[in-house]
Amino acid sequence: MKRLFSFRTLLFLTSTILLSLLSCSHHSEISLSSLDLSATKQGWGKVQIGKSITEKELRIAGTIYEEGVGTHANSTIRILLKKKPVRFTALVGMDDAALGTGGSVSFHIVGDDQLLWETSVVKPGDQAISVDLEIRGISELTLEVRDGGDGIDFDHANWVNARFSGRVDGITAWKPVIEKAEILTPKPGPKPRINGTRVWGVRPGNPVLFKIAATGDRPMSYEVKNLPDGLEVDSSTGIITGAVAEPGEYRMKFSVSNSLATAERDFKLVVGNTLALTPHMGWNSWYVWENHVTEQIMRDAADAMVETGMADHGYRYVNIDDCWSIKPSSDNPEINGEPRDAEGNLITNKRFPNMKGMVDYIHSKGLLAGTYTSPGPFTCAGHVSAYSFEEQDVKQFVEWEFDFLKYDWCSYGRIAADRSLAELQKPYQLISSILEQQPRDIVLNLCQYGMGEVWKWGRQVGGHSWRTAGDLGISFEGIGEALFRDGFDVYSEDSLHLYAGPGGWNDPDYLLFGYLSNWKGETAPTPLSPNEQYTQMSLWAIVAAPLIFSGDITRLDEFTLNVLTNDEIIEVNQDPLGKPGWRVAKEGFLEVWKRELEDGSIAVGLFNRGEEPAKVTATWEDLGITGKRVVRDLWRQKDLGRYNHRFTAKVGRHGVVMVRIR
C-alpha cells in the first residue's frame, strides 16, 4: 500500500508540474520595450527603447529607470492583443529633459476605440503615475501621449517599466502595410503644352522676368501676341524681359510651336501694386542642405530645375534659406569672420564668393532668385541678419537683384517686448514698407509659425505669404505626423481659407519629397509613404499653398518627379480665381475637401487619414452642386464618367483620390 500510494502521489505531482509548465507557456509577461515599436507615430523625433526621446537616460522626477520607452507628443503606440486577457502595468510621466521648458502632456490608453484610462495634464517634474489595467476582449490597445493643450514643444514623455502579463503569446506591435510607389502621372506628350500660372503681377516700371512654361519635344519656338510696350520675348527660350510703365491689365496670348503642333493659351499681366497673384512655385535649400548650402549648390539647383523639366511645369523660384551670411560664433573659417564691411554692408561667408554672379546665373535660365534673413540680430542657425540694418540690407538684396525674401522670426523673440499683436506685426510692417520703396519686385514670405493668427493680418503688413504653423520637417521621423497636424488639422479650423487669395497665401511649409536631410549630416529618402506624398501635393493644391519643393533637386527619381509635375494638379493650385479650398465633410478618418475654380468646376480631394484602405464618398449636397456631372481623375488625367448625387472611391491608407467635377 505504501509503495502504491507513493507511485500515485508521484504521478499526481508529475501531472501537476507538467500542467503548470504548459500553462506557463501561455501565461507569462513581456515588456513593451521588447516589441518592435518602429511604427510608432509621434510629433517629433524617433521612439527610443531604454532611453528618453533625447537619447539619454529615462528620468522622471529625479528617478532613473533602466527599462522603458521614450516618446514625444503627439504619439501613438498600437499593440495587437488579439482579444487575449492580459494585465498592463506601467509608470508614466514627462522626462526630466523637459524641466524648465513649459511642456505638458496627458497619457491615454484606448482599447478598440474605447477609452480605458487617462491622466490629467502632466508637467515636467511631476511624480510618475502608476497604470494597472486588467484587459479582456480587446483586439487593439493604443497607448497615446497628447500635448497638454499648449503645442508639442518639449513634450518628452516616458512609458517606463511597462509590461504585459497573462496570455501574452502572439502579442505584437502594429505595423502598416506600405504601398508600392506607383507612378500615376502620364508622361508629357511630344506636342507643346503650356503650363503654370495664367496670371502674373508686377509693379509699374520694375523689371519683368518671366519664363513661359511649356512641355513638348524640342526645339520649340515662342510667340506672344499683344505683348505690352516695354517687353520682349526670346523666341527660342520663351523668356520675357523688360518693364511696363503704365498700370493696367494686359491680356496676351502665348503661342508655343514645334514640328508637331502649336499650343496657345491666354495670359494676363497685371501691372499695379499686387504681386503673387497665384501661389509661388519653386525650390528652397533648407530641408536638404540646411547649414551646408553653398553657391555651387544654388547654381546646380537652377540647372536641375531646367534639366529635369520642373521649369516647364511652372516652377521658377530658386531660393537660398539660412546660412549664407557670416556666423560670428562659429570656429569654421568658411563661415566666420567680419559680418559687415566698413559701410555696414553684409558680407557673405566664403561658401558664397559671388552672390551677384549667382543671382545672374539663375536669371539667365529665366528663373527667379530668393534669399533669406531674420528681423532679429541672428538667423535661426546663428548667422548675422537684419536687425537695425533693415533698409541697408534690403538695398543690398536689390543690388544683388533678388526676387523673393523669406523673413524668419528666429532671434527677434529676444527683441520683441511681448507677444502682443502690435509686436508680432512690427518687424514685418517695417520690412514691407522698405521693400515697397524699391525699384524691384521682391515677394515677401512671413515666416513666424502662425503666431497671433497671422493669416488674419499677414496681407495687411505687406506679406505675400505667411507660414501658418511650425516647421513641417523639424523632425525627420515626424514629417508624416506633421503633415496631418500642420496641414489637415490647421487648415480644417479657423476658416483659414477666408483670409488667402491673390496677393497673399497661407503657407503650411515646403514639399518634402525625394532626398532630405535627416539632421545627422546625411541625406535620406523622405519618410513620407508614396500615398502621403500624393496626399501632401493634393492638399497643397486645394488650399492654394505655395508649391516650394525642398528635397534634393539634383537627385529626382521618376516617382518624385511624377508627384511634383502633374500639370492638372498644378492647374488647381495656380487657378486664377485664387479661392482656396476647405473641408466640407468628415467621418472619422475620412475627409472631403473642395476648391472652387475659375471655370465653374470644382476640385475635390477624397482623403483617407486612416490606417486601412476605405471607401470615401463626396456627396453633391456636401459639394453644393446638383445634376449629372463629369468626374475626372486628376492624378491619372482621365475622365471617370458622369455621376449623379455622389462620387465614391476606394482610397488607400493615408491616401487621396483627387478629382475635378464639371
Q: What is the CATH number of the domain that holds 399?
A: 3.20.20.70
- 93 vs 119: CA distance, rounded Å: 10
Considering the chain, what percentage of its residues have pLDDT values greater than 70? 96
**Domain end call among 518, 541, 574:** 574
Residue 555 sits in the same domain as residue 502: yes
CATH number of the domain that residue 647 is part of:
2.60.40.1180
Are 441 and 202 in contact by the 8 Å Cβ rule? The answer is yes
In terms of domains, do 538 and 593 share one?
no
With a cut of 60, say whether residue 9 has pLDDT above it.
no
Q: Is the pLDDT of residue 60 over 50?
A: yes
The per-residue pLDDT for 44 is: 86
Is residue 1's pLDDT more than 60? no
Q: What is the mean pLDDT of residues 321-327?
A: 99
Q: Name the pLDDT band for 4 (thresholds 50, 70, 90).
A: very low
Evaluate whether residue 630 is within a structural domain: yes
Decide if 246 contacts 230 (C-beta within 8 A).
no
Kindly state the helix (H) or strand (E) to which residue 251 belongs, with its residue range.
strand 248-257
Do 158 and 227 contact (CB within 8 A), yes or no?
no
Residue pointed to by grid coordinates 500553462:
23
Category of 436 on φ-ψ map: left (φ > 0), alpha (ψ -120 to 50) or beta: alpha
- 461 and 555 share a domain? yes
pLDDT at 290 over 90: yes
Residue 321 reports pLDDT greater than 50: yes
How far apart are the C-alpha atoms of 28 and 20, rounded to whole Å?
A: 12
For the chain, report the end-to-end CA distance as a whole number of angstroms. 96
Q: Assess whether 206 and 117 both reside in one domain.
A: no
Contacts of 623 (CB under 8 A, 6+ apart): 584, 592, 594, 602, 604, 661
Domain check: are 465 and 589 in the same one? no
DSSP string, 259-308: SS-EEEEEEEEEESS---SS--EEEESHHHHGGG--HHHHHHHHHHHHHT
> Grid coordinates standing for 17?
508540474
Q: What pLDDT, in 10s, does the model give residues 61-97?
A: 999 999 999 999 999 999 999 898 999 999 999 999 9
What would the pLDDT profile of 476-497 be if each residue is shown by its tens digit? 988 998 999 899 999 997 689 9
More confident residue, 318 or 6: 318
pLDDT of residue 193: 99
Task: Tell which of 544, 574, 604 closes a domain.
Answer: 574
Distance CA 438, CA 457 (A): 23
**Are 529 and 643 contained in the same domain?**
no
Rounded Cα distance, 426 and 460, in Å: 12
Q: What is the Cα–Cα distance from 467 to 560, expressed in whole angstroms?
A: 24
Residue 1 maps to a domain: no
Are 235 and 369 contained in the same domain? no
- Which has more confidence, 438 or 4? 438
In this prediction, residue 27 has a pLDDT band, given cuts at 50, 70 and 90, of low
φ/ψ of 311, rounded to 5, equals -65, -25
Q: Which residues are catalytic?
A: 408, 471
Same domain, 456 and 563: yes
Tell whether the model's pLDDT for residue 415 goes beyond 60: yes
pLDDT confidence of residue 266: 99
393 located within any domain: yes
Q: How many domains does the chain have?
A: 4
- As a whole number, mean pLDDT of residues 311-324 equals 99
Per cent of the chain over pLDDT 90 is: 90
Q: How high is the pLDDT of residue 477? A: 87
Which of these ranges, 7-11, 177-181, 449-453, 579-583, has the smallest mean pLDDT? 7-11
**Which of 583, 578, 566, 584 lies closest to 633, judged by CA?**
566
Output the pLDDT for position 422: 98
**Angle, nearest 10°, between helix axes 390-400 and 355-364?**
50
- Has this prediction a pTM greater than 0.85? yes
* Residues spanned by the domain of 90: 24-173
- The answer as to whether 73 is a domain residue is yes
- Across 414-428, average pLDDT: 97
* pLDDT at position 405 over 70: yes
* CATH code assigned at 80: 2.60.120.1060
pLDDT confidence bin for 14, thresholds 50/70/90: very low
Residue 7 confidence (pLDDT): 47
Question: How much is the average pLDDT of 18-46?
Answer: 76
Do residues 336 and 476 both lie within one domain?
Answer: yes
Is 430 among the domain residues?
A: yes
Return the pLDDT at 523: 96
Confidence category of residue 8, pLDDT binned at 50, 70, 90: low
- 296 and 365 share one domain: yes
Helix extents (H) in 521-574: 530-542, 558-564, 567-573
Residue 17 maps to a domain? no
Mean pLDDT of the chain: 95
* CATH number of residue 210's parent domain: 2.60.40.10
The answer as to whether 87 is a domain residue is yes
Q: Domain for residue 232, yes or no? A: yes
Residues 488 and 525 in one domain: yes
Q: Which of 138, 173, 208 is the last residue of a domain?
A: 173
Q: State residue 537 phi and psi, 5-degree precision.
A: -65, -40
**What φ, ψ does residue 500 adopt, rounded to 5°?**
-110, 160
Give helix 390-400 / helix 421-435 axis angle, nearest 10°: 40
Task: Specify whether 402 is located in the same domain as 510.
Answer: yes
* Cα–Cα distances in angstroms (integers) from residue 124 to residues 92, 104, 150, 155, 186, in the given order: 12, 7, 14, 9, 52
**pLDDT at residue number 11:** 47
